[in-house]
Amino acid sequence: MDIQRAASRPLSEVLPPLILGTATFNHQYHHDPSQMPYVDIVRRALDHNIAAFDTSPYYGPSELLLGDALRRIEPAPARDSYFLITKAGRIAGDEFDYSPAWVRYSVFRSLERLGTDRLDLVYMHDVEFVSPAEVLGAVNELRRLRDQGVIRYVGISGYPVRTLASLAEMILRETSEPVDAVLSYGHFCVQNAQLGRAEILERFASAGVDCVLNASMLNMGLLTSRGVNSLPMAAWHPAPQELRKACHDLAAIADAENRHLEEVAIRWSLRNWMYQGSKFGTGCYKREGNEHLPVRIGASVMGVSTVDQLEETWQLWKSVTSEPGQDATNVLVEERMWPSLGDWKDYAWESGGPSFINTRRVMGMVPNDDIAKRLHVTARDEQSSNLENLLSPRRQPAATDGCSIFMAGGRKSKSTASPAKPKNTFVLDNGASTLKAGFVRDGQIGQPRIIPNCIARDRNRKVYVASELEKCTDFGEIQFRRPVEKGFIVNWEVQSEIWDYEFFGSKAPSPCNPSETRLVLAEPPNGLPVLQANCDQIVFEEYGFESYYRGVGPAFNAYHDVQSLFRTPLDAATAANIPAEILLVIDSGYSHTTVTPVFQGRPLHSAVRRLDVGGKLLTNYMARQISLRHFDVRNDPHIVNEMKELSCFVSLDFKRDLERSWKGTRGQRRPEYESGGGIAKDYILPDFHKNLKGSLRDYDPANHTKAQKLAAVQADDDVLTLRNERFTIPEMVFNPSDIGLRQPGIAELIHQSLQDLPVGLWPGLLANMVVVGGNSLFHGFIQRLQKEVVQRVPDDCVVRVARPADPLTSTWAGAANLASHAEMERLAVTKQQYEEHGQAWVARRFAMGPDAS
């Protein structure tokens, strides 16, 4: 297929009818998209003349992987032989920037990632989350880029079809020019076919839209035999549980006909949209042999994860385009599946709307990189005036029928009295490995308890819940069940059992009456809204707390005398002026490592960065190394974790330490290796009879003669000699690429975070870097971090890095200080307010902080 360059032609004359969507090249669908066969998928698509590709910067590494695939295919396909589609405006799950500066920067960044000099079609991404005025401004900016020859066609994309129709009508009304394309997803599938309704299509026709494309024929994985109740999709998919079950039940109906639900769903969508969407379709297909098809056929976007899935979809496409008339699939769907769905037929979940809060603080702030410099688009200079924008979440009205770019503000809720201060506040830092929990009673802060956040079962099948683990005397081959994955609570059944045992049961060690208690709960930054909603509902509806505040854990560290960590304590007159004005919190815990800039006690969400390296990954990798070099300990994570905490350190000169621990070439034993080189240590494994815990001792070459080894065996001592494992394991926090993880190290992550902020904030952040979390206890961690950050920032910036006396409980202690702070009365939400206003209002209040009052 020859894709013509002349943009004067209507989109419907050049748009291929079947488009490969690369949203699946994304962490939301795969733990490591780089391991997908993405090059083979793209190559095979071109072989089948599937000559259009849809991607987005929001889809994680999707643009990079697609660009890499197109560059690696040999012979290289001619640029005019394929059609490139991307999007702009959506940065993260709850972060949007439709400003002209960001739209322009995003488009040129996409050009670089995709390795092209032009883009064929660019949508503004998920338009329902911003105001109509912002959509209009962004579309106008795309049209300016079109007029400059950078892009060819302009469109909008989103989920609610009525909102898409309203915005298309508004754009025509305000500019006298229609959008070229509208992309709708999840609205023309077996479960939800609203896009095919005559009233909706008539509105698109009246708005002058040339092409309406249908995407997500499997409704984001709902219409699959597997369903979406497994990670990673279970954590973010917006469908309610009842809808998930109703769609999963369709798989049994398909099985009864010896068919797969995926095949039925894709065939139904392809065939029916080909005809129902023909008025908004494309004529760019081979007519010879397909005379039974309309002159224009509806265009569809397919998403695949494997070459086999691509082949199956291609076969379905050939089948539906070559067979005229209806087939058995329509009968199966209409007579069996739709009645099974019942009220869930044509159900659409809420997307955007008045309750949504855009966490983007400053519009038009672009990274200080080569792309911005080439465009002469840089971070705005009026930094002081931007600080208020940095701190204030933007609540955007959604487009509704008959919308105008001049929209009134949202409906004001009834005035609500500030919640009365309870006598007891329960402060909980709900970590993945441990809970840090304690009370603030009448303003007096108690000592926190550190409780394992797990349910464990030993080799004798005895079960231990949370703190009961202290009674375990044999950790060999122990198995753990944890409610937290990747930092987020995903299994409330287990989490509730732990909470009940420790805090709310009749025999709880730390009893708590929720109806008379306020809960202050720490959560990781940039939490998923659906998981936050589950948490809020359980806190109020299951436990019935009197009042509640859910805040970002790293930000709680601002509620300390931070300067005392740097040995510059505040005087008594100013010590109470917390939170600290500005600091940069690095939290390296069990699941991940995060970098969170905090200003006046509130996180700057747009600059938060995350590294998927934490204590769990380090322990697992150490178990793998020891199993390869010594003996199998992969079923003993608890023992390996203790070994890691006792023996590992962060090297200040990695190459030198690696040299000191090198044995030498084959058959050689270097003297420095024989002596241990100051690196080697002997770890005595626990036997769970005399010794319940392992111990570390200095390496003595004399103890490693054959005679001494035999004596040790006879004495039943299991000794492991640890050499470079001691420092190569923590090195992953600084250089995750050493194990093939395509993420920057912690120092580079800090630099990336700073790049997203006004330069005027850099000195304050760099001079107040606070490191918390269990990994910060590695010897040398602070010194190495400071050394690497200094190498990445301007010479005139002072870099100070400090660690609290107890980095494990620092977040909890900060939350406890906040619980006694006057600001808490403006932050907390009462149960009465929750019942009156609902969960969406609670989420908005927590996101906006004190500004919500």
State the DSSP string of 789-851.
Answer: HHTTS-TTS---EE--S-TTTHHHHHHHHHHTSTTHHHH-EEHHHHHHH-HHHHHHHHHHGGG
Give yes or no for a contact between 429 and 805, defined as CB atoms under 8 angstroms apart. no
Edge-to-edge, what's the strand order for the sheet holding 463-465?
463-465, 455-457, 479-481
- Position 507 confidence tier, pLDDT thresholds 50, 70, 90: confident
What pLDDT does 287 receive? 64
pLDDT tens, residue by residue, 471-495:
998 888 899 999 999 889 989 999 9
In this prediction, residues 403-409 reach a mean pLDDT of: 37
User: What is the distance between the terminal CA atoms of the chain, rounded to a whole angstrom?
Assistant: 59
Cα 55 vs. chain centroid, distance in angstroms?
A: 18
pLDDT at 197 over 90: yes
| 174 and 231 belong to one structural domain | yes
Q: Is residue 354 in a domain?
A: no
Confidence of residue 371 (pLDDT cuts 50, 70, 90): confident
561 within a domain of the structure (yes/no):
yes
143, with CB counted inside 10 A (0-12, 13-18, 19+), is: middle
DSSP H or E stretch at residue 264: helix 261-276
Residue 465 φ then ψ, to 5°: -105, 120
Task: State how far the alpha carbon of 20 is from the alpha carbons of 148, 302, 583, in Å.
Answer: 27, 5, 44
Does the annotation count 59 as an active-site position? yes
| pLDDT in the model for residue 324 | 67
In this predicted structure, which of 206-215, 432-441, 484-493, 771-780 has the lowest mean pLDDT?
Answer: 484-493
Query: pLDDT grade, residue 30 (50/70/90)?
Result: confident
Whether 581 is in a domain gets the answer: no
Query: At which of 316, 344, 372 does a domain end?
Result: 344
Distances in whole angstroms, Cα of residue 241 to Cα of each of 482, 528, 820, 841: 21, 16, 38, 22
Spatial contact of 132 and 98, defined as CB atoms under 8 Å apart: no
For the chain, the 3-state helix, strand and coil shares in percent, each to the nearest 5, are 40, 15, 40
Q: Which of 545-559, 614-628, 691-705 has the lowest mean pLDDT?
A: 691-705
CA nearest to 726, candidates 823, 650, 612? 650
CATH of the domain at 524: 3.30.420.40
Question: Do 333 and 444 belong together in one domain?
Answer: no
Q: How confident is the model at residue 404 (pLDDT cuts 50, 70, 90)?
A: very low
Segments forming the whole domain that contains residue 647: 616-728
Six-digit token string for 707: 């005679």
Confidence band for 104, pLDDT divided at 50, 70 and 90: very high
589 domain residue, yes or no: no
278 with 202, same domain: the answer is: yes
Residue 610 domain flag: no
Mean pLDDT of 595-600: 94
pTM of model > 0.85:
no
In percent, how much of the chain has pLDDT > 70?
Answer: 89
Which of 4-8, 14-18, 365-369, 443-447 has maximum average pLDDT?
14-18
817 with 714, same domain: the answer is: no
Q: Rounded CA gap, 163 and 128, in Å?
A: 6
Neighbours of 55 (CB within 10 A): 25
The pLDDT value given to residue 526: 87
State whether 621 and 558 are in the same domain.
no
Q: Count other C-beta atoms under 10 Å from residue 707's C-beta.
A: 9
For residue 90, being part of any structural domain is answered with yes
The first and second tokens of residue 338, run together, are: 């739709």
- Asked if residue 567 and residue 621 are part of one domain, the reply reads no
Q: Based on the fold, state whether residues 457 and 568 are members of the same structural domain.
A: yes
Of 220-229, 548-557, 665-674, minimum mean pLDDT range: 665-674
In this structure, the answer to whether residues 694 and 821 fall within a common structural domain is: no
Q: Is the pLDDT of residue 267 over 90?
A: yes
Most confident among 397-406, 599-608, 702-711 (mean pLDDT): 599-608
Residue 358 lies in a domain: no
Instruction: Round to whole Å and give the CA distance between 318 and 332.
Output: 20
Sign of CA dihedral 751, 752, 754, 755: positive
Strands 593-599 and 602-603: what pairing? antiparallel
User: Mean pLDDT over residues 459-467, rounded?
Assistant: 92
Give the pLDDT confidence of 797-825 residue by residue, as tens digits.
Answer: 999 999 999 999 999 999 999 998 888 88
The answer to whether 546 and 835 have CB atoms below 8 angstroms apart is: no
CB 153 within 8 A of CB 103: no
Active-site hit among 38, 59, 464, 673: 59
| Greater pLDDT, 406 or 612 | 612
pLDDT of residue 381: 37
Which range has the worst mean pLDDT, 367-376, 759-768, 837-846?
A: 367-376
pLDDT at residue 415 tops 60:
no
Could you read off the pLDDT of 717-742 as tens digits, one per residue? 688 899 999 999 999 999 999 998 88
Mean pLDDT of 216-227: 90
Mean pLDDT of the chain: 87
How far apart CA 168 and CA 177 sit, in angstroms, is: 10
Given a cut of 90, is residue 299 above it in pLDDT? yes
Quote the pLDDT of residue 806. Answer: 94
- As for how many domains the chain has, the answer is 3
Q: Do 237 and 220 form a contact (C-beta atoms < 8 A)? A: yes
User: What CATH number is associated with residue 721?
Assistant: 3.90.640
Query: Which of the two residues, 95 and 575, has the higher pLDDT score?
Result: 95
Residue 686: is the preceding peptide bond cis (ω within 30°)?
A: no
- Under DSSP, the state recorded for 58 is T
Q: Please provide residue 793's backbone torsions phi and psi, each rounded to the nearest 5 degrees.
A: -120, 165
540 & 629 share domain: no
- Predicted local distance difference test score (pLDDT) of residue 705: 63
Split at pLDDT 50, 70, 90, the class of 621 is very high
Please give the pLDDT value at position 1. Answer: 43
Question: Both tokens of residue 823?
Answer: 């600001």
pLDDT band with cut points at 50, 70 and 90 for residue 826: confident
Whether residues 320 and 193 share a domain: the answer is yes
Range name among 19-28, 342-351, 750-759 with the lowest pLDDT average: 19-28
Per-residue pLDDT for 7 more than 60? no
Region 630-646: mean pLDDT is 91
| Token pair 């769907």 in the structure block, residue | 333
| Residue 118 · residue 150 · CB < 8 Å | yes
Cis amide prior to 448 (ω within 30 degrees)? no
Question: Taking a C-beta distance cutoff of 8 angstroms, is the pair 829, 454 a contact?
Answer: no
Domain end (from 670, 699, 728): 728
* Side-chain half-sphere CA neighbours of 511 within 13 A: 5
Q: Which of 344, 373, 395 is the last residue of a domain?
A: 344
How large is the average pLDDT for residues 532-555? Answer: 93
Task: Answer for the pair 683, 646: CB distance below 8 angstroms, yes or no.
Answer: yes
In this structure, the answer to whether residues 622 and 560 fall within a common structural domain is no
Q: How far apart are CA 318 and CA 278, in angstroms?
A: 17
Query: How many other C-beta atoms are found inside a 10 Å radius of the C-beta of residue 286?
Result: 10
In a domain, 373, yes or no: no
554 closest CA partner among 584, 582, 533, 590: 584
Cα 227–Cα 228–Cα 232 angle in degrees, nearest 5: 140
- Are 453 and 435 in contact, with CB atoms under 8 Å apart? yes
Confidence of residue 423 (pLDDT cuts 50, 70, 90): confident
| DSSP E strands, 151-242 | 151-158, 181-185, 211-215
Whether 126 and 263 map to the same domain: the answer is: yes
Q: List the CATH number of the domain containing 246.
A: 3.20.20.100
- DSSP reduced 3-state for 88: strand
